[in-house]
Amino acid sequence: MLDHTLVKPTATRSDALRFCEEAKRYHFCAVVVLPYFLPLVVRELEDTDVKPCTVVDFPFGAAGIHAKLSESRRAIGEGARELDVVMNIPAFKSGDEATVQRELEELVNAVGVAGMTQGEHRVLVKVIIETAYLTDQEKARATEIVRDSGADFVKTSTGTAPTGATAADVLLIRRLVGQNMGVKAAGGIRTVEQAMAMFDAGANRIGTSTGAALAEAYDPQAYLSGTR
């Protein structure tokens, strides 16, 4: 249920290798990295239960559909099993919902075709709506657009905005997408208590750069007994 995430601009090759080793040790769901590190991560995670994932049109989603499609196809060709795609935030804030919806629908369709062409397993698409920049009404509308695009997950945040995931946002998103779509909480999740609050609110995936620390700190018995 954890995506071990390394998307800071100062990340190094050594950091990426360490994240892969930690993810394999704790059997995290995926390692999420910038596109530059994707080939390295694909090699390091080969024949493991951890999936290589990269970001697309990160962090603002404003490069347009051609950039989104190009990045996605390249990532799939390099071995990505999941894509964390940023919704076109400026278009959405401008009220241009048609562009946002069209971009996401085209991307989801293209990813499906590219995945089949490469002969790989189906590639998951997680769409980041960046809740920090949205009102509650905008969060709801963005969630509906992502839901209707055919994407696999609605994701709260990139981790680069002033604020990240909140339990209230996860609750809102889960209510709108129902139980058959993924909800990923990300941004600022650094403690076991924060992680459990997201899961309790309805998240079924968490993105964090502190996955190893969370795994080491989590004691189920202590948490349930309230001693932690």
The residue from 84, 139, 152, 169 that is catalytic is 84
Q: Which residues contact 70 (CB under 8 A, 6 or more apart)?
A: none
pLDDT tens string 162-171: 999 999 999 9
The reported pLDDT for the residue numbered 120 is 54
Tokens (6 digits) for 47: 């024949």
Q: Residue 120 belongs to a domain with what CATH number? A: 3.20.20.70
Q: Is 84 a catalytic residue?
A: yes
Q: How confident is the model at residue 78 (pLDDT cuts 50, 70, 90)?
A: very high
Please say whether the beta carbons of 41 and 80 come within 8 A. Answer: no
- CA distances to 24, 28, 145, 148, 215 from 50, rounded to whole Å, are 6, 6, 29, 28, 15
Which domain covers residue 71, as residue numbers?
A: 2-225
Q: Is 93 a catalytic residue?
A: no
Amino acid at 58: F
Report strand pairing: 82-86 vs 2-6: unpaired
What is the DSSP-derived secondary structure letter of residue 162? S
Give yes or no for residue 153 having a pLDDT over 70: yes
Of residues 62 and 221, the one with the higher pLDDT is 62
pLDDT (average), residues 124-147: 98
Q: Is 68 a catalytic residue?
A: no
The reported pLDDT for the residue numbered 219 is 79
pLDDT (average), residues 20-35: 98
Provide the 10 A C-beta neighbour count for residue 225: 9
Q: Work out how many domains the chain is built from and give that number.
A: 1
pLDDT tens string 175-209: 999 999 999 999 999 999 999 999 999 999 999 99
- CA distances to 15, 18, 96, 170 from 40, rounded to whole Å, are 11, 12, 37, 32
**Burial degree of 40 (CB within 10 A; 0-12, 13-18, 19+):** middle
The residue from 139, 152, 155, 169 that is catalytic is 155
The residue from 51, 68, 139, 184 that is catalytic is 184
Of residues 116 and 69, the one with the higher pLDDT is 69
Dist. CA 49–CA 30, nearest whole Å: 9
Please say whether the beta carbons of 52 and 40 come within 8 A. Answer: no
User: Which of 73-87, 116-130, 147-161, 199-213 shows the lowest per-residue confidence on average (mean pLDDT)?
Assistant: 116-130
Give yes or no for residue 118 having a pLDDT over 70: no
**Burial degree of 100 (CB within 10 A; 0-12, 13-18, 19+):** buried
The reported pLDDT for the residue numbered 122 is 87
The reported pLDDT for the residue numbered 218 is 86
Please say whether the beta carbons of 112 and 82 come within 8 A. Answer: no
Please say whether the beta carbons of 37 and 13 come within 8 A. Answer: yes
pLDDT (average), residues 127-135: 98
